[in-house]
Amino acid sequence: MKNRLKVLRAERNWSQQALADELGVSRQSVNAIETGRYDPSLPLAFQIAEVFGMAIEEIFSRD
């Protein structure tokens, strides 16, 4: 699965740690999701979408 997490984060000038704090997860988790090494669960994907104020499909897409 592909995602636009890094771009969206850069647009808002958020660090990985800031996003991790917002989501209540570790910085490692944000890094792993951002680099496509880990696909988040549906609840976490919804949470990420909520933090960015976007729909899930605007952030995540199929390869």
Partner 1 sequence: MSTTTSGLGARPGLWVGLILGTCGLIFGLKASGAINDTTTLLLAIVPTALLFALFRSLANQRENRCGSTSQAGKRYIFGIMATSIAYVLGLGVAMWVFRNLDPSVELTWLLAMLPIAPILAMIFVMGRYIVEEQDEYLRHRAIMASLIGLGFVLAIGSFWGFLETFELVPHVPGWWAVPIWAMGMGLGQAWQSMRHKVGPVDEE
Nearer to partner 1, 38 or 51 (CB): 38
Q: Which is nearer to partner 1, 22 or 53 (CB)?
A: 22
User: How many residues does the structure list for the chain?
Assistant: 63
Do 48 and 40 touch, CB atoms closer than 8 A?
Answer: yes
Interacting residues with partner 1 (CB under 8 A): 9-10, 15-17, 20-21, 24-29, 31-33, 35, 37-38, 40-41, 44
Beta bridge partners of 2: 61
Q: How far is the CB of 55 from partner 1 (least distance, A)?
A: 21
13: helix, strand or coil: coil
